[in-house]
Chain A
Amino acid sequence: MSRASQPGRVICAAGVALLVGAAGCRAGARPVAPPPEAVAPPPEAAVSSPETTPTPPPPPAVAVAAADGFGETRRQLLLELAADPARRLEPSEVGYYMDVQQARLQQLAETRLRVERDESRLVVTLVGGPAFESGSSRLTPDTDATLRMLAATLTEYAKTLVSVHGHTDASGDEAANLQLSTRRAMEVAQALIARGVTADRLLVVGHGQSVPIASNDTVEGRERNRRVELHVDPIQR
């Protein structure tokens, strides 16, 4: 089961390992269209407004936090949720709960998710190509399938708070990017709700271009910076 000797497993282009037994490495299914930001400055925010898709209005309200104060919001939400004994984890359970949830996500990750662990928090990043159709906040079909799986796991492991963080690259207008990142995070949150995740477990945060994880000077770097991260925290007192 060590990395090098695990049979039935291949390393895909995006660097995410998966069991071939569960599904193939679907690199070929990636959209051929280049990232919209790379080919179409003016920023996508400007283009997206005339194209806005008429999505059905989401019934439950999802908490939205500003990029600079989301930590406090998250703390508050966790406290509220932990008030219900049926929804919280006992301290002794947290380790096991998050361990098996991480393993489950890694098992299902395919090429589209990167799963990382930070203490008791799970950080799940949507990777492996654009999650959204060009210049819009509509999810690509691949992302849709990934989110279905993600939602199933989050529904099974219900004693967590899921913070959805949207990020863009540095091309275009900073304010517009902030809006776009929030909209995309909200899109992912709504997609999860539509697949069974209760709205009160979700928190949406838009960071714009403020938290790059790679250089914005290269195409690859910008593509890595355009991302949505899910921070999964155990609900506990």
Chain B
Amino acid sequence: MWRREKLLVGVSLAAFAGVAVVFVGVLWFLWRDSLAAEETAVSGLALSLGERTERVIQDTRDLLAGFDRLPGSRCSPRHLRAIEDAAATRPYLRAIGYWRAAERQCGVGFLQTSALKPPRADRIYDSGVIAWWPGPHTEVGGVPLFLMRFGDHDAAIDPRMLLEFGSLEKRQVALWVEGLPMASQPLDAVLPEPGSLPVGVHIDRAAGQVVSRFSRDALLPIDIVAIEPFANFWDRHLRTLAVGSTVGLVLAAGWLTAILRFTRHRLSLTAELREALAQNRIEVHYQPIVDLASGRCVGAEALARWTRSNGESVSPDVFIPLAEKDGLVTAITMSTLGAIIRDLGRLVKDTPDLSVSLNLSPHDLRTDVAGALTERLAAAGLPARAIKLEVTERALVNTDTARDVIQALRARGHQIAIDDFGTGYSSLSYLETFELDILKIDRTFVEAIGTAAATGHVIVHIIEMAQSLGLQTIAEGVETQQQRRWLLKRGVACAQGYLFSRPLTPSAFAELMRREQAA
């Protein structure tokens, strides 16, 4: 039994481990998938931001060079219109100015007096382009601007417009051009310098955020740094993770629960049966066996009954196989015998033609029950003829021991009945090799009496066969008068069934016998 339990536990653990591995695998895959999605999103973002920034800077430079090449006098209506047209079609341009040395002469945007002259340029290129990155000295209305001057004209770019993308999705994003901070979103976000970060997406556990850096060096060295708190990352990707893991978890939990419940039921049922046996709580009921001709009760079949401590009545169909598997069946047999002696010992002693049938399991026949049986009967002062022994047809198959045990039991004076005949595999010739006394006709054949079912004919053959072997017959499961009459007509000696009585408690059976004797 313990091997079985261990096996069950082992199977459960293996199942759990397997489920866990699959579950972890699914989670790992989804996590990788989420990271890859993040990487794709941020690198795509970096690409479009980088391209846009390059385009804007190059366009602005070409624009300024074009203004210097314009014919005609400066600050003329024509000159100013060209500047206005350029500014109108470029929403990121906040101002364009025409300068003489360090004096702004005219232009669009800003007031003349607020022309920006930062004290230090960030880049002066060989080409003559000069640029000031956004900072305190380029701030107008709280917004640091990117300034570029080439020749006699300058332009102010609002760097926020470079980041004005719908796809930022609550990320904090910073744009670096030539290693200098150009813009960030939101405006006051403080992001790490790209030089301090590895390229790609990585997890900063300490700060609880996902940090991404992508670089691009086509026309200008451009870096994009994006940060988002785990919370946002989860918000975006957790739906996939959650659905995947929940489904997995529910399936795994359901399966595990089913296995564990089954195991526990089985384990606890066996343990309980063992306990019930130890405490002698297996009760025995008696179903009367009636002589068909006289209608008198000539005996009874002892039937083991088990009621669990929670009140649930367990059918022998359930607990006998369980007991057989766990080696408890002989204990049940002996317990039943004990109950018979206790309940009906006196009655049987006083009534010489009354006998009680005890069921033996195939397991009983493989061991030597004969000795134990004789011992108990002798102790109780009961003759062997008082106890008939019922064996199932299945118990006889392929067992020489069974043959020997049956011989021994008969030699001691017990009558042997074969139970459930016709439901197994034995043929008539096989049956002949055993020394038997009684054949019990299974209820399935009795039920078929009077119907057109094919089994209706089988019972005729069974009865004829029993008579030819000189066996007494007892019909089981008789429920109608029609069945009783039919059986009587065919020469069946005895019967049991609801027509006569259902299984009775010991006291009810004793009462029945008292009334019959009085009659």
Residues of A within 8 A of B (CB): 1-3, 5-6, 9, 17-19, 21, 92-97, 99-104, 106-108, 117, 156-159
Residue B294, interface by CB 8 Å: no
Q: How near does chain A come to B145, taking the closest CB pair, in angstroms?
A: 15
Residue of A nearest to B148 (CB): A1
Q: How near does chain B come to A149, taking the closest CB pair, in angstroms?
A: 12
- 13 A–B contacts from the bound complex (CB under 8 Å): A1-B125, A1-B131, A2-B221, A3-B125, A95-B120, A96-B121, A100-B101, A103-B130, A106-B124, A106-B128, A108-B128, A117-B124, A157-B101
Residue of B nearest to A96 (CB): B117
Complex alpha-carbon distance, A158 and B101, angstroms: 9
Complex alpha-carbon distance, A107 and B129, angstroms: 8
User: Are A95 and B118 in contact, with the CB atoms below 8 A?
Assistant: yes
User: Are B118 and A1 in contact, with the CB atoms below 8 A?
Assistant: no
Report which residue of B100, B131, B149 has the largest number of chain A beta carbons within 10 angstroms of its beta carbon. B149
Residue of A nearest to B119 (CB): A95
Complex alpha-carbon distance, A1 and B118, angstroms: 20
Q: How near does chain A come to B6, taking the closest CB pair, in angstroms?
A: 73
User: Are B151 and A6 in contact, with the CB atoms below 8 A?
Assistant: no
Type the 1/0 row for B199-227, where 1 means its CB is closer than 8 Å to any CB of A: 00000000000000000001111000000
Residue B126, interface by CB 8 Å: yes
Q: How near does chain A come to B128, taking the closest CB pair, in angstroms?
A: 2
User: Are A101 and B128 in contact, with the CB atoms below 8 A?
Assistant: no
Given the contacts A2-B178, A93-B117, A158-B101, A100 and B127 also touching, CB distance less than 8 Å: no
Residue B454, interface by CB 8 Å: no
Q: How near does chain A come to B127, taking the closest CB pair, in angstroms?
A: 5
CB neighbours of B125 from chain A (8 A): 1-3, 6, 103, 106
CB neighbours of A92 from chain B (8 A): 117, 119
CB neighbours of B271 from chain A (8 A): none
Residue B108, interface by CB 8 Å: no
User: Are B150 and A5 in contact, with the CB atoms below 8 A?
Assistant: no
CB neighbours of A97 from chain B (8 A): 101-102
CB neighbours of A104 from chain B (8 A): 128, 151
Given the contacts A1-B131, A93-B117, A156-B101, A9 and B126 also touching, CB distance less than 8 Å: yes
Residue B266, interface by CB 8 Å: no
Residue of A nearest to B151 (CB): A107
Complex alpha-carbon distance, A161 and B322, angstroms: 114
Residue of B nearest to A17 (CB): B126
